[in-house]
């Protein structure tokens, strides 16, 4: 945990991009250093910025519920985002912001060495594995790149808005649970 704590402290002091000027808190992520699953979302939202904790707003509560239903304990996974700060008005992360934050994300992955990196939505997919296919064609699948296994699914914000996507994401998370056996 020491390395994760050091990284969280570095992230909390980061001024590498413009987002430090508008954030209330950085959101480095949370979870155990020995997590088998490492979830990556897009960026912090309003609730996350207020508290410094990832996925605690409406989308986060839905993610937690879907994890429970799939038999995955949120307390045993590491959850973070591509950006460690909230973009103004929850806009999509800009390329230069992502480039400044990705080294932190990779350092967290190196410390944790998860069995699967779970990519939640297109922003995470594009920034982690560079794939530009349609999510509907990739969800529920795995990819191996370098030393890491990736699992691709939707972002819980999309699952909140569309029942069809929610059902697909629920199926994806159940499939993920079977991959851990």
Does the pTM of the predicted model rise above 0.85?
yes
Contacts of 168 (CB under 8 A, 6+ apart): 139, 140, 154
Phi, psi of 153 (to 5 degrees): -150, 180
Nearest to 79, CA basis, from 47, 31, 148, 42? 31
Tokens linked to 85: 């700060």
Domain count, the chain: 1
Q: Which residues pair with 116 in a beta bridge?
A: 37
- CATH code at position 132: 3.40.470.10
- pLDDT at residue 116 is higher than 70: yes
The pLDDT value given to residue 181: 82
- pLDDT at residue 165 is higher than 70: yes
For 118-157, write each residue's pLDDT tens digit. 999 999 999 999 877 889 999 999 999 989 999 999 999 9
Higher pLDDT, 84 or 180: 84
* Average pLDDT of the chain, as a whole number: 95
The pLDDT value given to residue 1: 53
DSSP secondary structure letters along 18-72: GGGGT-SS----BS-TT-SEEEEES---HHHHHHS-SS-SHHHHHHHHHHHHHT-
For 12-56, write each residue's pLDDT tens digit. 999 999 999 999 999 999 999 999 999 999 999 999 999 999 999
- Mean pLDDT score, 86-99: 92
- pLDDT at residue 89 is higher than 90: no
The pLDDT value given to residue 2: 64
What is the C-alpha to C-alpha distance for residues 43 and 37, in angstroms, rounded to an integer? Answer: 18
Domain that holds residue 39: 2-179
For residue 90, name the pLDDT band (cuts at 50, 70, 90). Answer: confident
């Amino acid at each position: 945990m020491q390395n994760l704590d050091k990284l969280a402290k570095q992230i909390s002091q980061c001024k590498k991009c413009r987002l430090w000027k508008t954030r209330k808190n950085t959101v480095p992520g949370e979870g155990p250093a020995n997590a088998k699953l490492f979830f990556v979302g897009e960026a912090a939202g309003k609730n996350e910025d207020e508290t410094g904790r990832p996925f605690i707003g409406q989308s986060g509560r839905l993610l937690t519920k879907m994890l429970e239903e799939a038999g995955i304990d949120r307390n045993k996974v590491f959850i973070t985002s591509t950006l460690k700060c909230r973009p103004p008005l929850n806009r999509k992360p800009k390329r230069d912001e992502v480039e400044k934050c990705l080294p932190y994300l990779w350092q967290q992955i190196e410390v944790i060495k998860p069995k699967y990196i779970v990519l939640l939505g297109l922003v995470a997919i594009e920034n982690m594995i560079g794939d530009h296919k349609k999510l509907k064609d990739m969800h529920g699948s795995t990819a191996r790149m370098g030393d890491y296994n990736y699992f691709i699914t939707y972002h819980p914000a999309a699952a909140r808005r569309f029942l069809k996507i929610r059902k697909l994401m629920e199926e994806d998370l159940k499939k993920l649970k079977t991959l851990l056996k």
